[in-house]
Amino acid sequence: MGLSGMLRNLKQKLPHTKNKGGSLTQEEKALVNALLHEGYRKQDIAFIINQGRFAQGQLVTVNQARITQSGDVTASKEQVEEYFKTLSAYDPKTFLNPYKESDKRLIRSREAMIAAVQTFNTPTMIFKAEIFAVLSNIAWTYLIHEKLEREEKGSSERCKNKSKTVSQILGKEGQTPIQSPIKDAAVIENLRKIIEIRDEVEHTLFVGGDILFGALFQACCINFEKYITEWFGSSLSLTKELSLVLQFVRLEKEQLVELEKSNLPPAIKTIVDEIQESEFKDNSAFQFKVHFMEVVSSKTSADIHRLVSHDKSEPGTPYAIKPRDYARVTEKEIVKAVQDKGYKNFKPRDHQKCWKERWNTAKERNEHARQYGEVLNKRQWFWYKQTWLKEVLEFCKKAGEQFK
């Protein structure tokens, strides 16, 4: 795809807002001077500047009237080429750019986790559990470092040119992590166990790790998806790039029993025992189990396998695994839907009061209201109509006659 096509795609994907104080930065002024000198038309330069802002998630545009010769600094030919190279390198799905310092960790984090899952899902690989433990730890390291750096510059470093490990950030078992951006104890314990596995596989040879630690690894993937989208936006989701692995064989219960009885290396056996005895063993953020249930067809007697949830209260209850596809609506649309339900006096300020009873600020909402909505294009919040509308209607119901 050429630069023009890339710009058109970005313009379509990102919302457009009118200029509200969108003055040029010093870097943009230098670029404008250089492009004017090269004979570019003002409207073309405005388009290029605005698309550069769109690609970075900035919604304030530059008016064509501001495209004039300004200041004494003019970008060099090399700087102009670098600008276009950077602009054309944006990923249209994630909006990440390998030339931007702020995106480098996130790109590597996503790629490390993708590589971990793809390797684990490769049927011919024997060393898959070991590779997953190593690569997933790298993915989490980059992810947590980027979160820390955006909160406080230099907070991911322990000394000059030396970054903190995930183990140092999470702290030792039994201690409350002080600096960790992750507060869920089950997620933290999941990462600690994966780090233990990573440390042991350097010195230990064993088989069957994909079966022994599968639930632990599955929870790791789900946790990673949760935090990368909560911290950095839904555009970084991995759900469209990775899917469930298909299997050609059936694993019998007897095989699992024999595997657990096998002569595992002591260090690995210790980890397995600790997982089974952990206080978080039934927490899906620590280990996530998906079971295959065999159903015999009365017509053909064929074996049909269905994915079912691991629910001790209702064992064998079918659980449909499918991508979430909620209708995304703005606050204005939520207010209109509520008014259509009979609450004619319900206004946008009332809606803001409704969600602020749960989350004090928009930042807090963006981090903790993922079941009710999501941030699109890095800035704008959209509500899920299917899940949030009923909460607002309940808020109106409790208010009695106030909004009728």
Transcribe 369-397 into DSSP letters. Answer: -TTTEEEETTTEEEEEHHHHHHHHHHHHH
Give me the pLDDT at residue 207, please. 65
- CA atoms within a 13 Å half-sphere pointing along the CA-CB vector of 338: 28
Q: Of 145, 189, 193, 187, which Cα lies nearest the Cα of 166?
A: 145
377-400 per-residue burial string, b: 16 or more CB within 10 A, e: under 16: bbeebbbbbeebbeebbebbeebe
Q: Determine the average pLDDT of the residues in 56-75.
A: 75
CA distance 268 to 379: 45
Give me the pLDDT at residue 354, please. 92
Among 51-60, 96-105, 195-204, 296-305, which is the least confidently predicted range?
A: 296-305
E strand or H helix that includes residue 367? helix 362-368
Nearest 10 degrees: Cα torsion 233, 235, 236, 241: 150
Transcribe 218-248 into DSSP letters. Answer: HHHHHHHHHHHHHHH-GGG--TTT--PPP-S
* Confidence band, pLDDT 50/70/90 cuts, at residue 281: low
CA distance 53 to 295: 55
> What are the sequence ranges of the domains in the chain?
3-88, 101-288, 328-398
Transcribe 66-120 into DSSP letters. Answer: G-S--SS----HHHHHHHHHHHHT--TTT---TT-HHHHHHHHHHHHHHHHHHHH
Q: pTM for the whole thing?
A: 0.58
Distances in whole angstroms, Cα of residue 77 to Cα of each of 6, 34, 66, 74, 268: 22, 8, 22, 9, 58
Contact 112, 136 (CB under 8 A): yes
Contact 6, 90 (CB under 8 A): yes
CA distance 239 to 247: 20
**Where does 248-360 have alpha helices with state H?**
253-261, 266-277, 331-340, 348-356
Give me the pLDDT at residue 175, please. 66
- CA atoms within a 13 Å half-sphere pointing along the CA-CB vector of 173: 12
Q: Taking 60 as the threshold, does the pLDDT of residue 201 lie above it?
A: yes
Distance of CA 97 to the CA centre of its chain: 16
Contact 106, 142 (CB under 8 A): yes
Q: Of 282, 291, 288, 285, which Cα lies nearest the Cα of 317?
A: 291
What are the structure tokens assigned to 216, written together?
């632990």
Contact 237, 229 (CB under 8 A): yes
* 85-108 tens-digit pLDDT: 888 888 878 888 888 888 999 999
Q: What is the DSSP letter of 312?
A: S
Give Dmax (Cα) for the chain.
83
Contact 71, 29 (CB under 8 A): yes
- The strand order across the sheet containing 373-376 reads 328-329, 380-384, 373-376
Contact 99, 54 (CB under 8 A): no
Give me the pLDDT at residue 302, please. 39
Give me the pLDDT at residue 289, please. 57
What are the structure tokens assigned to 109, written together?
């984090």
* 235-276 tens-digit pLDDT: 888 877 765 554 444 444 454 454 444 454 565 556 556 666
Per-chain mean pLDDT for the chain: 75
Residue 77, C-beta contacts closer than 8 angstroms, at least 6 positions apart: 34
Query: What are the φ and ψ backbone dihedral angles of 294, each rounded to 5 degrees?
Result: -90, 125
CA distance 220 to 215: 9
* 290-349 tens-digit pLDDT: 554 444 444 433 333 344 444 444 444 444 434 455 788 899 999 999 999 999 999 999
What are the structure tokens assigned to 331, written together?
């606050």
